[in-house]
Amino acid sequence: RSMSSITVQPPKCLQKTFVAPRRHMFGPGPSNVPPRILAAGAEPIIGHMHPEMLEIMSDIKSGIQYAFQTQNNMTIAVSGTGHTAMECAIFNAVEPGEGVLTAVNGIWGERAAEMAERIGARVNSIVTTAGGYFTSEEIDRALAKHKPVLFFLTHGESSTGVVHPLDGIGDICHKHNCLFLVDCVASMGGAPLHMDKQGIDILYSGSQKVLNAPPGTAPISFSERACQKVFNRKTKPVSFFLDMTWLANYWGCDGKPARIYHHTAPVSAFYSLRESLAILAEQGLENSWRRHKEVAEYFHEGLENMGLKLLPTVTTIVAPPGYDWKEITSYIMKNHNLEISGGLGPSVGQVLRVGLMGGNSSKASVDMVLEALRDALRYCHKSKV
Which residue, 213 or 369, has its beta carbon nearer to ligand PMP? 213
Length of the chain in residues, anyone?
A: 385
Enter the DSSP assignment of 22. P
Which residue, 40 or 357, has its beta carbon nearer to ligand PMP? 357
Q: Count of alpha carbons within 13 Å of 48, Cβ hemisphere only? A: 15
> Judged by CB under 6 A, does residue 81 bind ligand PMP?
yes
Binders of ligand PMP: how many residues, by CB under 6 A? 14
Residues in 108-137 at the binding interface with ligand PMP, rule: CB under 6 A:
108
- Residue 186 CA to residue 293 CA, distance in Å, equals 14
Which residue, 73 or 79, has its beta carbon nearer to ligand PMP? 79
Query: What is the closest distance, in whole angstroms, from the C-beta atom of residue 377 to ligand PMP in the complex?
Result: 26
For residue 334, count CB atoms less than 10 angstroms from its CB and return exposed for 0-12, middle for 13-18, buried for 19 or more. Answer: exposed
For residue 218, count CB atoms less than 10 angstroms from its CB and return exposed for 0-12, middle for 13-18, buried for 19 or more. Answer: buried
- Residue 293 CA to residue 296 CA, distance in Å, equals 5
- Residue 178 CA to residue 101 CA, distance in Å, equals 10
Query: What is the closest distance, in whole angstroms, from the C-beta atom of residue 313 to ligand PMP in the complex?
Result: 13
> Judged by CB under 6 A, does residue 158 bind ligand PMP?
yes
> Judged by CB under 6 A, does residue 215 bind ligand PMP?
yes
Residue number of the CB atom closest to ligand PMP: 82
Which residue, 187 or 249, has its beta carbon nearer to ligand PMP? 187
> Judged by CB under 6 A, does residue 206 bind ligand PMP?
yes
> Judged by CB under 6 A, does residue 198 bind ligand PMP?
no
Q: Count of alpha carbons within 13 Å of 291, Cβ hemisphere only? A: 20
Sheet holding 202-204, edge to edge: 74-79, 217-222, 202-204, 179-183, 150-154, 99-104, 122-127
Question: Quick one: CA torsion of 191, 194, 280, 227, rounded to 10 degrees?
Answer: -130
Q: Quick check: 200 and 166 in contact, CB under 8 A?
A: yes
378 is in an annotated binding site: no
Query: What is the closest distance, in whole angstroms, from the C-beta atom of residue 98 to ligand PMP in the complex?
Result: 22
Enter the DSSP assignment of 347. G
> Judged by CB under 6 A, does residue 154 bind ligand PMP?
yes
Query: What is the closest distance, in whole angstroms, from the C-beta atom of residue 202 to ligand PMP in the complex?
Result: 14
> Judged by CB under 6 A, does residue 162 bind ligand PMP?
no
104 phi and psi angles, rounded to 5 deg = -110, 110
- Residue 185 CA to residue 204 CA, distance in Å, equals 7
Residues in 12-41 at the binding interface with ligand PMP, rule: CB under 6 A:
28-29
Region binding ligand PMP by CB under 6 A among candidate stretches 55-63, 179-187, 251-259, 291-299: 179-187
> Judged by CB under 6 A, does residue 214 bind ligand PMP?
no
Which residue, 213 or 376, has its beta carbon nearer to ligand PMP? 213
Residues 6+ apart with CB under 8 A from 44: none
Which residue, 186 or 200, has its beta carbon nearer to ligand PMP? 186
Query: What is the closest distance, in whole angstroms, from the C-beta atom of residue 345 to ligand PMP in the complex?
Result: 11
Residue of 19, 18, 3, 29 whose CA lies nearest to 216: 29
Which residue, 176 or 209, has its beta carbon nearer to ligand PMP? 209
Which residue, 191 or 370, has its beta carbon nearer to ligand PMP? 191
Amino acid residing at 223 = S
Query: What is the closest distance, in whole angstroms, from the C-beta atom of residue 97 to ligand PMP in the complex?
Result: 26
Binding residue for ligand PMP, selected from 27, 63, 82, 320, defined by CB under 6 A: 82
Enter the DSSP assignment of 365. H
Query: What is the closest distance, in whole angstroms, from the C-beta atom of residue 108 to ligand PMP in the complex?
Result: 5
Query: What is the closest distance, in whole angstroms, from the C-beta atom of residue 66 to ligand PMP in the complex?
Result: 21
Question: Quick one: CA torsion of 39, 41, 42, 44, rounded to 10 degrees?
Answer: 130
Q: Binding residues for ligand PMP, per CB under 6 A?
A: 28-29, 81-83, 108, 154, 156, 158, 183, 185-186, 206, 215
Q: Which residues are annotated as a binding site for substrate?
A: 353
